[in-house]
Amino acid sequence: MDGGHAAILKLQGITKKFGTFTALSNVDLTISNGEFFTLVGPSGSGKTTLIRILVGMDHPTSGEIRLKGEVINDVPANKRPTCMVFQNLALFPHKTVGENVEFAMKIARVNPQVRRTRALELLELLRLPADFYAKNINQCSGGERQRIALARALAFDPEILFFDEPLSALDYRLRKTLEKELKDIHRETGKTFVYITHSLEEAMVMSDRIGILNEGELIQIGSPDDIYNRPKNKFVAQFMGEVNTFEVERINSRKVRDIETGLQIEISSALGENFRSGYLIIRPEVMKIGPAAEKLPNQLHGVLFNDYALGSRIQYQVRNERSSHHWLVERLQDDPFSGNAGESVTIGWRPQDSMLVDH
């Protein structure tokens, strides 16, 4: 986000323990007003624990949560200017769409006509016809229910909307549509969205910034481009997509050695004096195969084992002739590699396409 956006939510040293188990460890995080911030991590990383603390459903063992500068650790969920869109949506099946959207306003004793007007405005915003107002929830599809749950959350006019994997149960095509719609709605409303998902694709498509959680620690925070192209360590690099990984040791300021094969690898940026060993990461899409690879300074030789169609791309698996290690190379569908399985091939990459990361 632009540095001119004021912080709306700040976490300082948030730790959560369940007996001897530490679910969150000293988490520091600042979220800007109007930002779309996504927390990503594997199962058990602490995502759900953190969001439960943020919405007031649970309390941290230590640390502070500040909303617009005010500490809200002990403020109950129903007293916070925030709202949650749950994975199971938590809509009332016996009520109409309009009654679901208006629920928070009815509890707040808002005038019925004002409630109806606001509900119809939100249905329009969420691209649902006005006649949905009287429709029963059980008559709505999964995608329509997602929109209704979001309309109900927006009706509360919260400062921050929290989302706990709201698209995980949907089929791929509908999920892709709703990813774009959520990003559009975020732009239209200007609200602060804090989103939890295990889907890297969702995070990359929708987010202004991404936070990577692992074993209760916030490992890295950055833009989608930062996280993808400048990962902090091996875990982040591998978590953000398939990669080729080499465990390497220093030769000199411009070269490292692959510990497994002994291959000497040129890098583009001078190594710091303290670097002795780590991991070198190369993404499949920057790797070359065949004649194009034979002109590059970094080369490997192996056997073409298999290929996999990935929509607009084809992924090739090349295996080391002397071990079980394999590498991945990707080409566009309209520029396929013409080799056959079992053939010896050369793969390669430019020094500037290598990423060196910590253990």
Over its length of 359 residues, how does the chain's per-residue pLDDT go in tens digits?
544 579 999 999 999 999 999 999 999 999 999 999 999 999 899 999 999 999 999 999 999 999 999 999 999 988 899 988 877 778 888 899 999 999 988 888 899 999 999 999 999 988 899 999 999 998 988 888 888 988 998 888 899 999 988 887 778 888 888 888 889 989 988 999 999 998 888 899 999 999 999 999 999 999 999 999 899 999 999 988 889 999 999 999 899 999 988 999 999 888 888 889 999 999 999 999 999 999 999 999 999 999 999 989 999 999 987 767 899 999 999 889 988 899 999 999 999 999 999 77
CA separation, residue 322 to residues 18, 265, 301, 342, 348 (Å) = 48, 19, 10, 14, 18
Tell me: domain 242-357, CATH 2.40.50.100, correct?
A: yes
CATH topology assigned to domain 7-231? Rossmann fold (3.40.50)
What's residue 352's pLDDT? Answer: 94
What's residue 2's pLDDT? Answer: 47
Give Cβ neighbours of residue 84 (< 8 Å, ≥ 6 apart).
51, 55, 153, 161, 162, 163, 164
CA separation, residue 267 to residues 81, 85, 242 (Å) = 50, 46, 21
Q: Give me the phi and psi of 147, to 5 degrees please.
A: -65, -40
What's residue 3's pLDDT? Answer: 45
- The C-alpha atoms of residue 22 and residue 14 are separated, in whole angstroms, by 11
CATH 3.40.50.300 spans which residues of the chain? 7-231
- The C-alpha atoms of residue 99 and residue 105 are separated, in whole angstroms, by 10
What's residue 9's pLDDT? Answer: 97
Q: Which of 73, 358, 354, 20 is nearest to 219 (CA)?
A: 358
What's residue 181's pLDDT? Answer: 86
Name the pTM for this structure. 0.88
- 126 in helix, strand or coil? coil
What's residue 218's pLDDT? Answer: 97
Give Cβ neighbours of residue 333 (< 8 Å, ≥ 6 apart).
309, 311, 312, 313, 314
What's residue 350's pLDDT? Answer: 95
- 275: number of Cβ within 10 Å: 15
Evaluate whether 84 touches 90 at the Cβ level (below 8 Å).
no
Give Cβ neighbours of residue 193 (< 8 Å, ≥ 6 apart).
35, 36, 37, 160, 161, 163, 182, 186
- The C-alpha atoms of residue 172 and residue 345 are separated, in whole angstroms, by 35
First to last CA, the chain: 29
- The C-alpha atoms of residue 275 and residue 269 are separated, in whole angstroms, by 12
What's residue 187's pLDDT? Answer: 92
Look at phi and psi of residue 36 and say left if phi exceeds 0, alpha if psi is from -120 to 50, else beta: beta
CATH 2.40.50.100 spans which residues of the chain? 242-357
Residue bearing tokens 């058990």: 44
Evaluate whether 168 touches 197 at the Cβ level (below 8 Å).
yes
Q: Give me the phi and psi of 243, to 5 degrees please.
A: -140, 160
What's residue 36's pLDDT? Answer: 97
What's residue 31's pLDDT? Answer: 97
Evaluate whether 119 touches 101 at the Cβ level (below 8 Å).
yes
What's residue 176's pLDDT? Answer: 84
